Structure 1
Amino acid sequence: MDLELRHLKTIRTIADAGSLTKAAARLGLAQPALSAQLKRIERTLGGRLFERGRFGVRPTALGEFVLERARVVLPAISELQQEAVRFTSAGGAVAGLRLGGTHGPLLGGLVDRLATVRPGVPVTTFTTWSEREIAASVTAGRLDFALIGACGESPAPESERLSWREVAVDPVFVMLAESHPLAGKREIGLAELAAEAWADVPGDGCFADCFTLACARAGFTPTRVYETDTASCIHLVQVGRAAGLCRATLPPTPGMVTRPLAGTPLTWRHLVGWHPGTPAADSAAEVVTQARAAHADAAARSDSYTQWLADHGDPADHRNAADPGPPWGAEGRAAAPGRSWPPSVTDYP
């Protein structure tokens, strides 16, 4: 039997899991089948790779030697596959633009603007609630650009591989039914909503933790949080079952209002990311510019956000109270003092 990559992955999985039972579950195999496969691999390599005991398995000296090589070979092969996908997908030129985005008002605006300025270039989209999935797809070459959000000052995913630019920083607003007793207020203190159930879209960043911390600082713990899709969140708000958390750019919706939270306890950063080693990177400046214009369009359509901007100015000055560090560029560098709003693409080189 010749040694194959799948055999190296099996060895690494066994070592990481610490037992054949756990490794078999991760690999989707029955334990006897995994044991038989391991014996064949050991025969090929000339010796035992793991010592078996009552507390699981641990690598032998030969096993450590093979694992050391596997930890070099497997990432190298993965990188080769990603580079090959990017090369094949690009074909040496940007035939189209593949955008990935979380559910929100900016992706449609960006597609519309790109279709206007590049009428001959096809634009395709992919959406999911997972910012990490979108970023991983850009890294792997399956998408050209990511349009995602990040809570407060939290870092963007895949930050070591992708280039990121900040599009805008928004305060997080609350959605209430038009009939809600607080709907007529200009701003609402978070503590005034202590008795409410809440609705929000899911995500894999730190927003849920930041919201819980903001509530704790306001003196309460949320009684219930419904994590669901945008349409369901809006429905729960409209019928009075919950207060909803939303980006300030959420468009006007019948049956409900959006209102700022006093003191801006939560903020949301819109980011555009891409892989610098692909032909699509040549279009990055234009994509960022159009994303910022789409954000400005969305902000202008919201009366509550327009009023908030008139009252408070630059949203970048209202970072999460839970993480009051200085504004920083989307690639982790400190933003220059006195930068303009919205920032230009050269603000974060």
Structure 2
Amino acid sequence: MCAIADTGSVHKAARQLGMTQPSLTTQLRRIEQAVGGPLFNRERTGSRPTPLGRTVLTRARPIVAQMTELIREAKDAAGLGHADPGTRLRLASTGSRAVPGWLRRLHRRLPDTDITFQTDVSANTLLQMVADNQLDAAFVHEVEGAPLRVPDGIRLRVLVRREPQFVAVPATHPAARAGRAVAVAELAGEKWMVDPSVDGDWDGLRRVFAAARIDPRVVYGDYLSAGDLVAAGEVVTPCQPTSQPRPGMSIVPLAGDPLGVRLLVALRAGRRAGIEGDGVVEDLRASYEEVALGSPAYARWLAARRDPGLTVVA
């Protein structure tokens, strides 16, 4: 399940797992029969988790990580381990366009390190995995007004003090053609799509609506499918400022920047020596700056601010 969700394709997942596609499809059907419903929607562009699938994945990812760690520890205890623990780096993120550049920099600078990576929509889940020694570091976001649950034994490094959240609108929308930031009230008549499984997102958006004194229609879904619906003119949706527009969609700042997040790197207190020396945070900082300046709407927003301390990486 995790492999299909991460690759977006049963075919790619089978290749990653070293299985045939029919074998993986059969295994997936058995899992779906066990949990009582379909876990993925098979679309022309790939496989995407259903609401049930997202729920199961939230519980499955920690189990996979724990099992992987159990096997590694058992092999080490039996003298069968092949990798020095100092050459392993376990990373995760709630999802960001900065991640590919982060991993690219780490692989280039640490060619002998076994780097593993996973994603999860829940920042709180990833923080707990760091605390439980299932991860060495996690890149997460914290929505204003919706503080994360930080377990004991976690150290947080602030990557960005406040990142404004933008909105994705259809390219034909007046807000896209106006070439300016759009007020939330101007979008009161639109259907807003939000993913309620992302920690803090719905709470933050509700506060924005309340402050603007609007009560728009809200639909629930995942942000991957939201992009297709935005392009089709069905919804608008909050998005990261580093998001890249696709055909039929535009990324627009919100006037007054009413919705913001803090970007954090979670490290385990007392973690193995050298993780900071390895430059994990520094490589992420460089990658984030690269995608921020390469995102047209965000680059314009940054250029218009005289006080870079509002958004520049801390």
**TM-score normalised according to structure 2 size:** 0.69
Q: Bigger CA drift: 165-174 or 98-107?
A: 98-107
Pairs aligned (count): 238
Specify the alignment match of 1:221 in structure 2. Answer: 215
Q: After superposition, give the CA deviation of every residue in 1:29-79 in whole Å (9 maximum; x if it has no partner).
A: xxxxxxxxxxxxxxxxxxxxxxxxxxxxxxxxxxxxxxxxxxxxxxxxxxx
Specify the alignment match of 2:93 in structure 1. Answer: 101
Matched, 1:173 2:166: yes
Specify the alignment match of 1:260 in structure 2. Answer: 253
Q: Say whether the 8 Å CA contact 1:102–1:131 is kept in structure 2.
A: yes
Specify the alignment match of 1:282 in structure 2. Answer: 274
Q: Say whether the 8 Å CA contact 2:131–2:151 is kept in structure 1.
A: no
Q: Say whether the 8 Å CA contact 1:156–1:164 is kept in structure 2.
A: no
Matched, 1:294 2:265: no
Q: Say whether the 8 Å CA contact 1:109–1:294 is kept in structure 2.
A: yes
2:266 counterpart SS class = strand
1:291 counterpart SS class = helix
Q: Bigger CA drift: 109-118 or 238-247?
A: 109-118
Specify the alignment match of 1:308 in structure 2. Answer: 301
- Distance in 1 between residues matched to 2:275 and 2:145, nearest whole Å: 26
- Distance in 2 between residues matched to 1:259 and 1:214, nearest whole Å: 16
Amino acid at match of 1:305: Y
Amino acid at match of 1:198: W
Specify the alignment match of 1:250 in structure 2. Answer: 243
Residue from 78, 96, 110 that aligns with 1:118: 110
**Could you say which structure has the larger radius of gyration?**
1
RMSD: 2.7
- Distance in 1 between residues matched to 2:93 and 2:137, nearest whole Å: 9
1:290 counterpart SS class = helix
Matched, 1:133 2:125: yes
Matched, 1:148 2:119: no
Q: After superposition, give the CA deviation of every residue in 1:150-208 in whole Å (9 maximum; x if it has no partner).
A: 11264443243211111113100000111112212211000000011112334453331
Amino acid at match of 2:184: L
Q: Say whether the 8 Å CA contact 1:170–1:316 is kept in structure 2.
A: no
- Distance in 2 between residues matched to 1:171 and 1:111, nearest whole Å: 24
Q: After superposition, give the CA deviation of every residue in 1:284-312 in whole Å (9 maximum; x if it has no partner).
A: 35111111111101101111101101112
- Distance in 1 between residues matched to 2:146 and 2:281, nearest whole Å: 20
**TM-score normalised according to structure 1 size:** 0.62
1:111 counterpart SS class = helix
Describe the shift of the 1:313–1:153 C-alpha distance in structure 2 as closer, same or farther (beyond 3 A).
farther
Q: Say whether the 8 Å CA contact 2:146–2:204 is kept in structure 1.
A: no
Task: Summarize the alignment of residues 36-55 of structure 1 with structure 2, pairs less than 5 Å apart.
Answer: none
Task: Summarize the alignment of residues 161-240 of structure 1 with structure 2, pairs less than 5 Å apart.
Answer: 161-168=153-160, 169-185=162-178, 186-228=180-222, 230-240=223-233
Q: Say whether the 8 Å CA contact 1:176–1:244 is kept in structure 2.
A: yes
- Distance in 1 between residues matched to 2:194 and 2:98, nearest whole Å: 18
- Distance in 2 between residues matched to 1:197 and 1:188, nearest whole Å: 15
Shift of 1:282: 2.2
Specify the alignment match of 1:158 in structure 2. Answer: 150
Residue from 337, 342, 347 that aligns with 2:313: 342
Q: Say whether the 8 Å CA contact 1:132–1:204 is kept in structure 2.
A: no
Q: Say whether the 8 Å CA contact 1:130–1:204 is kept in structure 2.
A: yes
